[in-house]
Chains A and B, each alone.
Chain A
Amino acid sequence: MSGQGEGMRDTVTDEGYMTADGRKIGGVAMEMRNITLRFGGVVAIKDISFDIRWGEIRAIIGPNGAGKSSMLNVISGFYHPQEGEVIYKGYKRPAMRPYQVAQQGIARTFQNIALFEGMSVLDNIMTGRLHHMKANMFQQAIWWGRAAREEAENRAQVEKIIDFLEIQHIRKTPVSRLPYGLKKRVELARALAAEPAILLLDEPMAGMNVEEKEDMCRFILDVNDEFGTTTVLIEHDMGVVMDLSDRVVVMDYGKKIGDGTPDEVRNNQEVINAYLGVAHD
């Protein structure tokens, strides 16, 4: 197994690589260069670098408090690192507000569900398509021309996602009435509705039973397969991570301790130490 892993690392070039299951992964979509993030005296992320390639499923794992969610928040523009830079599509990204990052095609889900509770499932997913809707306030006020046309067009797109994620039956239900597993699915739908270039999933399977986890895995793989969406996911379920992801970044105490294919990571002594618990110096 380790031989296969090493062989794969050799083939990761600037142009891309082939995965074990034969998918072609493209060039670098986003590169994190020497990211350091501090909150006062606490260093959440220490000098971390890694890249995300077009079309791959990239996992970030690590024990609790390792800085995984902070890393995702850096990518989605919610935190601004004190040092280091984010290279997106070949350009250094300036400090941006989160909504500007979203407009650049980065969508995410949250560890604790962040759906809009007062709105229906349909409205929640339609909210994901906001930056595909360009009608101005006056066109919307009289509901003529562009506003009405856009609404119907985007609704058709949203319905495709609703079909894809099999949530037709709850379309008009207020989100606050849904069970947890379905809420997670609606949140994925909302992120997908934006047609993102990069999809960030923060613990998409937390708190789910086996069946719901299997469904979610299937959806993540299908999304990647069907739309070619680059996916970055944080997950604690090692079985899921190892099965789903093409490459894995392992973090512990804000540092990167491993990076590579699931097999490489599994055999990395530092990773084993972090998970099994070894006294830190």
Chain B
Amino acid sequence: MLYREAGDFKTSYVADSQTFPIKFDRYGYYVLLGFAFLVMPLIINDYWANSIVVPFLIYAIAALGLNILIGYCGQLSLGTGGFMAVGAYASYKMMTAFPELNIIFVIIIAGMVTACVGVLFGLPSLRIKGFYLAVATLAAQFFLIWLFTRTAWFYNYSPTGMISAPTREVFGVPVTGPRASAVSMYMICLCFLVASAWLARNLTRGSMGRKWMAIRDMDIAAEIIGVNPLIAKLTAFAVSSFLVGISGALLFAVYLGAAEAGEAFGIDKSFLVLFMVIIGGLGSIFGAFAGAAFLIVGPVLLKLLLVNSLGWPTDLAAHLEIMIVGALIIVFLIVEPHGIAALWRTIKEKLRLWPFPY
């Protein structure tokens, strides 16, 4: 009787509509949050931070953003890589133009810039739907990357065409640049992720989220009920691009340190984040985390297993890793087309009755 819903009575609508209505979930969440903020900084090392934890945190933000657009509002987008590049280049331009501006504000403003660009490229969604919209956002992807590689102003006329993040500090601790430690990188990404998840959850639980979901499920009925499709779709693009922009800025400034648009933010990034959202579960905040974990942590664990435990050669393991992860994705989508989040829901429903299923 580990997990129980019975006897957990709600006496107000506020209590009934909270994020974790079941006590066990709520305490589990507090424990996890406490672990992430208090214990992880003590035990994290460079290897874990660089190979798993920091990319997971950053891609989870991107997956949250894309999930709002695709999972909640039903607007298919393949421009994620391009929007991440907007966040990255916006943060780079701001870091170099205003060196005294705090990096936290830089990243938030980079997100806002991306939101504006996202709204611009979201305008076609008012006329076209589904795959046609996906193709239109694909145009955004290629156009933005082209723009950032061809226009020297964006990379401050550097001869290599690369952008590299200067050192910036938060409370005197460097979080970007070569002097940044694993703990500081982890902490800034974690703070942004927790804030993003909180924002995304709040926006999707209220009237805004219902407007998005109404547009997703049946746009004509939504309009007749009183949803303005223009505002609903463009706000979804704005919020989604905001989060994607933040993750792009973090990926460049904190994680990579130096980047080149075509290489760091290519179409493969768009697909990576799209797969995270689909595998994790469309229309679920938890799904964004699960999908990011699956696609970031999965390959690393596989590599650890094959190379370190079984002692296979690295190149063989690398190829096998790609094949196994690919096969896992396919198997996963056949077994549970609605993603890890749906799987988790099924488990929870089973646990409600466990151990007496009748």
Chain A residues proximal to chain B, CB less than 8 Å = 76-78, 97-99, 101-103, 107-108, 110, 114-119, 123, 126-128, 130-131, 133, 135, 137, 140-143, 147-148, 150-152, 155-156, 159, 190, 194
Contacts and interface: CB of A to CB of B under 8 A. Distances in A.
A140 B207 contact: yes
Contacts of A131: 226
B13 interface: yes
Given A123-B210, A123-B213, A151-B17, A116 B222 contact: yes
B297 interface: no
A140 B222 contact: no
Interface in B184-241: 199, 202-203, 205-208, 210-211, 213-214, 216-218, 220-229, 235, 239
B176 to A, nearest CB: 26
Interface of B is mostly: helix
Contacts of B218: 114-117
Nearest to B215: A116
Contacts, number: 109
Contacts of B17: 151-152, 155
A130 B207 contact: yes
A108 B224 contact: yes
A135 to B, nearest CB: 7
Given A99-B228, A123-B213, A114 B13 contact: no
Contacts of B14: 148, 151-152
Contact of A119 (B12, B13, B213): B213
Contact of B223 (A98, A119, A135, A194): A98
B13 A137 contact: no
Given A119-B217, A137-B235, A103 B226 contact: yes
A140 B235 CA distance: 13
A141 B217 contact: no
A98 B214 contact: no
Contact of A114 (B202, B213, B216, B221): B221
A114 B208 contact: no
Given A98-B223, A99-B226, A130-B225, A137 B208 contact: yes
Nearest to B224: A98
Interface residues of B, number: 32
B218 to A, nearest CB: 5
B72 to A, nearest CB: 9
A159 B216 contact: no
Contacts of B199: 141-142
B281 to A, nearest CB: 12
A118 B216 contact: yes
A140 B208 contact: yes
A126 B17 CA distance: 12
Interface of B: 12-14, 16-17, 199, 202-203, 205-208, 210-211, 213-214, 216-218, 220-229, 235, 239, 283
A116 B13 contact: no
Contact of A99 (B13, B213, B223): B223
12 contacts: A78-B220, A97-B228, A114-B221, A115-B217, A118-B283, A123-B210, A137-B208, A143-B202, A151-B206, A152-B12, A152-B13, A155-B13
B202 A142 contact: yes
With most chain B CB atoms within 10 A of its CB, the pick from A101, A130, A135, A159 is A130
A118 B213 contact: yes
Contacts of A101: 224
Contact of B211 (A76, A110, A130, A141): A130
A116 B220 CA distance: 11
Contacts of B227: 99, 127, 130
Given A119-B210, A119-B217, A141 B224 contact: no
B13 A102 contact: no
B224 A99 contact: yes
With most chain A CB atoms within 10 A of its CB, the pick from B14, B202, B207, B211 is B207
Contacts of A141: 199, 202-203
A127 B210 CA distance: 6
Contacts of B12: 152
A108 B210 CA distance: 18
A232 to B, nearest CB: 14
A159 B217 CA distance: 23
A142 B213 CA distance: 20
A108 B214 CA distance: 15
